[in-house]
Structure 1
Amino acid sequence: MELTVTEFVTLDGVMQSPGGPGEDPSGGFTHGGWVQPHGGPELGAHVVDIFSRADAFLLGRGTYEIFAGYWPRMTAPDDLIARPLNTLPKYVASTTLRRVDWANSTLLEGDTVEAVRRLKSSPGRELQVHGSCGLLQTLLRHDLVDVLHLHVIPVTLGSGRRLFGPGTQPRTLQLAASRITPKGVALLTYRRGGPLRTGTIGQPE
């Protein structure tokens, strides 16, 4: 399976608490809920399309707890996000959780990096990561991300947990798709492009 990461992110790189004011106030963060004013049918359809390609989910503890507290209550059969989240396998990376009760959830044991590599070697389409800021830093540090879907919201916050933290590997990414919604959200998809390339402006490559 390809490991794909989907994130809402501000122009200044913050990914904390996009969904609502109380979603993740850790660190004294007070700006939660910055996506909603910029949503719309185009953004919604894009997110549904991403979920339609999932064969499994990989979640960090915080995102697992947020999702598990909400999505099991969404039981409409035509809900194209709730259905895959509630029925497909979910793998949870956490050193503090002792059990996961959401249906079809499995707590990863042992070394997270090796566990993720084993999952990636399994047959299927996409192993999807949504949110999961702490887990994402581990995935980036070990170069495990194949595809990165960024929904860039036209706001700046100045504080909060960042998409790319210390330890992110220097890499070149290839833009695979891009478009802008009527409300100014940039929908960007990147694929791994190999090692970082550098050069001097004005000189031939």
Structure 2
Amino acid sequence: MGRLIAEQVVTADGYAADPAGGIDFFESLIQPGEDGDVGLNDAEQLAYVAQVDAILFGATTYRMFADYWPKVDPEVEHIAELINRVPKFVVSNTLASAPWGDGEIEILRGDGVAAAAQLKQRFATIIVWGSLTLTDALFRSGLVDELHLRVVPVLLGSGRSFSPAEVGEGAGAGGLELDHVETKPGGVLSVRYLVR
């Protein structure tokens, strides 16, 4: 069975969106640090996405990515070519189509958990970026194998957590094993956990 990675950009106090659902705090991730770098340099980004065999989105995150990545000049954003090439799927019961550049990506209808479980049978490594509602369901079902956090040096005080409140309920639920931690320019912390 494949490995499913959930990656979230969160504030230092653990929020993935402000109370209105906004993600303006992401600006901290893309502001250059002292050496002109951001949260990940090109080589790191390319190596990170190169390990991915498929990308799974919820509808909201799909719209954000589809509005940006197919239009980006790969000479400027070197990772764009990889993102555009990797098989992509969106879980939605409302989207009529899912355009991506000159083509479309596959819409997975019905239960997002069942769809993700099927993808784990087909692909070795799947990543879910953002997609909070979908990620909540994947955590509840126990399908998340790794949690990657990019912690930005911002405090919101309130907002939307990156995981469902009930993920920690039950014996042994919600256990994480720290696998890697690294500081990045601009005060960004990159943390990788294995989900037990």
TM-score > 0.5, shorter chain as reference: yes
Q: CA deviation at 1:77?
A: 5.8
Residue deviations 1:13-38 (CA, integer Å, cap 9, x gap): 11127xxxxxxxx8374854343346
Summarize the alignment of residues 33-182 of structure 1 with structure 2, pairs less than 5 Å apart.
33-37=27-31, 41=37, 43-45=39-41, 46-76=44-74, 79-102=77-100, 103-122=103-122, 124-169=123-168, 170-182=173-185
Q: CA deviation at 1:69?
A: 0.7
Q: CA deviation at 1:163?
A: 0.6
Q: Using a 3 Å threshold, how does the CA distance of structure 1 residues 63 and 78 change in structure 2: closer, same or farther?
A: same
Distance (whole Å) between structure 2 residues aligned to residue 63 and residue 28 of structure 1: 12
| Larger RCO (CA within 8 A; separation ≥ 6) | 2
CA contact (8 A) 1:3 1:126 kept: yes
Q: Using a 3 Å threshold, how does the CA distance of structure 1 residues 42 and 77 change in structure 2: closer, same or farther?
A: closer
For the pair shown, the structure with the greater C-alpha radius of gyration is 1
Please list every run of 5 or more consecutive structure 2 residues that lacks an aligned counterpart in the other structure.
Answer: none
Instruction: Output the amino acid matched with 2:154.
Output: V
CA contact (8 A) 1:38 1:184 kept: no
SS at match of 1:137: helix
RMSD value over aligned CA atoms?
2.3
CA contact (8 A) 1:29 1:159 kept: no
Please list every run of 5 or more consecutive structure 1 residues that lacks an aligned counterpart in the other structure.
Answer: 18-25, 194-205
Once the two structures are aligned, what percentage of the paired residues are identical? 34
CA contact (8 A) 2:29 2:38 kept: no
SS at match of 2:156: coil
Count of residue correspondences: 184
CA contact (8 A) 2:88 2:106 kept: yes
Distance (whole Å) between structure 2 residues aligned to residue 8 and residue 30 of structure 1: 9
Q: CA deviation at 1:111?
A: 2.0
Structure-1-length-normalised TM-score: 0.79
